[in-house]
């Protein structure tokens, strides 16, 4: 049965004990509302490490829209089922007051990649992401941490942060998991209406098939998406667009 831990001191004690016994620790940080995409990360960690720790923490510092934070899905009972099924050993459920005991006075700032794509339309987002990931990695001290390629910009930033700060952790990217109709799995998909859910698979299809980013943007707008950006970088096509009130992101290799 999975062990649930809320105290930072307790999780640090446990992981230090594992290290002293030469047991490798894998880590999957999440914000909950777990789906098959998360499950793939969890299973990879379980297969590659002696102990797997997952965390669930809806990190308010990365939400530039308070309503987005308020409406973010919380599905703890289902999450526990997913974690148990995947074979996770420990669930870390930190408390905001303990994680941010400095009242977010200290934060990680990156001045290049974090300012484009999602960073240009979500001010402060990646500061919140990098700060919480740094805190969690320092607390859990894993040998490996796993992140999905759906948030490829996030993966690049986290991997770059760890290398820049000489952190003793390997950041493992994992392929995007998709629904049968091609929609990238995301916790936010739960917020789509039935009609929006029928339209949503066109997002990835257009990104894959359009001959240019500009043509992809135009086609998505024709289909009813409110496009934030479509850009080709790092041999990938990155995009973010709204369907109704739900902001979807995706990227595909080109």
CA nearest neighbour of 199 among 228, 219, 177, 214: 219
Residues 242 and 231 sit within 8 Å (Cβ to Cβ): no
Q: Which of 31, 5, 254, 60 is nearest to 147 (CA)?
A: 31
78/127 Cα distance (integer angstroms): 29
Active site residues: 38
Gap between the Cα atoms of 235 and 118, Å rounded: 17
**CA Rg, the chain, in Å?**
18
Give the whole-angstrom CA distance, residue 192 versus residue 27.
Answer: 29
Q: Which residue has the tokens 């990190």?
A: 59
């Amino acid at each position: 049965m999975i062990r649930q831990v809320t105290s930072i001191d307790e999780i640090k004690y446990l992981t230090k004990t594992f290290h002293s016994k030469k047991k490798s620790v894998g880590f999957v940080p999440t914000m909950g509302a777990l789906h098959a995409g998360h499950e793939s990360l969890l299973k990879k960690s379980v297969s590659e490490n002696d102990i797997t720790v997952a965390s669930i923490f809806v990190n308010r510092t990365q939400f530039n829209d308070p309503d987005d934070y308020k409406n973010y899905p919380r599905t703890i009972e289902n999450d526990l089922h997913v974690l148990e099924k995947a074979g996770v050993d420990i669930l870390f459920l930190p408390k905001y007051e303990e994680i941010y005991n400095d009242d977010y006075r200290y934060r990680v700032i990156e001045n290049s990649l974090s300012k484009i794509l999602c960073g240009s339309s979500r001010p402060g987002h990646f500061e919140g992401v990098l700060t919480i990931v740094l805190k969690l990695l320092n607390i859990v001290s894993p040998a490996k941490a796993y992140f999905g390629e759906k948030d490829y910009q996030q993966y690049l930033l986290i991997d770059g942060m760890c290398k820049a700060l000489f952190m003793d952790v390997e950041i493992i990217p994992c392929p995007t998991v998709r629904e049968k109709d091609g929609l990238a799995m995301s916790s936010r998909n739960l917020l789509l209406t039935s009609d929006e859910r029928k339209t949503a698979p066109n997002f990835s299809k257009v990104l894959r098939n359009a001959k240019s980013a500009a043509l992809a943007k135009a086609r998505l707008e024709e289909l009813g998406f409110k496009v934030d950006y479509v850009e080709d970088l790092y041999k990938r096509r990155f995009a973010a667009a709204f369907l109704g009130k739900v902001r979807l992101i995706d990227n595909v290799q080109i």
